[in-house]
Structure 1
């Protein structure tokens, strides 16, 4: 059932829900970083599950609002694309944590924390970009987009260092496999942040 507020209002509920999704994605990356930089490095999945549930709730509400709302503040396709991109950030962080739980005994001497820190940083920038959508100002959004691109470039550089380590001959085959798999999950998570940033930036470009 349509409400007059939804039909003729500004559609601020979409901004609220997208921001909630972005914050939940950032929270999951922060939980991952905290887990990996801790002394005991024992996987604790509660924080990931909670963040994922919050993101899922926001995503479902966005879908319902798109059905119920007569007017949206930005194009429906853009809302759907951004919601999907934010969902994938959360999904990658949880995927890493779930698999790390199974393989932690083989990874005691591998330090994932620096890459996880970059992922958290990238997700933090995405939160800022999503919050900028209310203002539709190109200058601040471009600066954030440049910052996110810089993080992605640095992550790519670290990946090259990783491959040198993998093929150094100093690792056991299982360690080589796991190291490559886990770092690629982190790399993909940063890529998902970049994708969300691109969607947010494109929204501002189209509407400024």
Structure 2
């Protein structure tokens, strides 16, 4: 086996793993939005999200195991690691939010929670499209546009979060305020981590185009 042939399977394998993780994150965000929009049987829906999160953990472990064994990677070792970790964080915060909705016995999701979840789905969709283009960077400007859109959406999420928390503090039930604020915080953290992933992808494009 020649040197080129030895590299190429690993090249394909790393992109496959990142694409699998990205699609799993998208699945998690879609499942969470569906949970909020159809707020019934929420324990079962929360378990579905938990299962997606566990699948995400498996993908991350696989990526790090391969990184530890690989001498050569198609893109920088550090970028693969940072991207895998950012995606993992997105799913962790989605799962954490869904879990708190159940544990805190939230009777009905607020409209701004649904808006944040919609932003999250749009972000993870853009990220998934960007990831699928990394295998062969033919149009770096298109990938960069997707990353910019993720960042723009994060700014929208920030505005929704700030407005939501401001409205919360107009209420009088301190326990309810604490519960809902924590839900909003974790949703906003998820959108932040999407931005982190977009920034890593943007760096990869700059280095490899």
Q: State the TM-score, normalizing by the size of structure 2.
A: 0.89
Q: Note closer, same or farther for the CA distance 1:130–1:104 as it changes in structure 2 (3 Å cut).
A: same
Q: Distance in 2 between matches of 1:109 and 1:82?
A: 30
Equivalent position of 2:166 in the other structure: 164
Equivalent position of 1:144 in the other structure: 146
Runs of 5+ consecutive residues of structure 2 not aligned to the other structure:
none
**SS of 1:45 mapped into structure 2:** helix
> What are the superposed Cα offsets for residues 140-161 of structure 1, whole Å, 9 maximum, x if unpaired?
1111012112211111121222
Equivalent position of 2:6 in the other structure: 7
Q: Distance in 2 between matches of 1:142 and 1:78?
A: 16
Q: Distance in 2 between matches of 1:71 and 1:7?
A: 10
> What are the superposed Cα offsets for residues 143-192 of structure 1, whole Å, 9 maximum, x if unpaired?
10121122111111212221331122x34111111121110100000001
Shift of 1:4: 7.4
Equivalent position of 1:58 in the other structure: 59
Between 120-129 and 193-202, report the one with greater CA deviation.
Answer: 120-129
Alignment of 1:58-207 (within 5 A): 58-105=59-106, 107-108=107-108, 110-111=110-111, 112-136=113-137, 137-168=139-170, 170-207=171-208
Between the two proteins, the alignment pairs up a number of residues equal to 204
**SS of 1:104 mapped into structure 2:** coil
Between 43-52 and 112-121, report the one with greater CA deviation.
Answer: 43-52
Task: Give the RMSD, CA atoms, in angstroms.
Answer: 2.0
Equivalent position of 1:37 in the other structure: 37
Shift of 1:28: 1.1
Shift of 1:133: 1.0
Shift of 1:24: 0.9
Contact 1:6 1:70 in 2 (8 A): no
Shift of 1:102: 0.7
Q: Distance in 1 between matches of 2:66 and 2:174?
A: 50
Runs of 5+ consecutive residues of structure 1 not aligned to the other structure:
none
Q: Distance in 2 between matches of 1:197 and 1:139?
A: 14
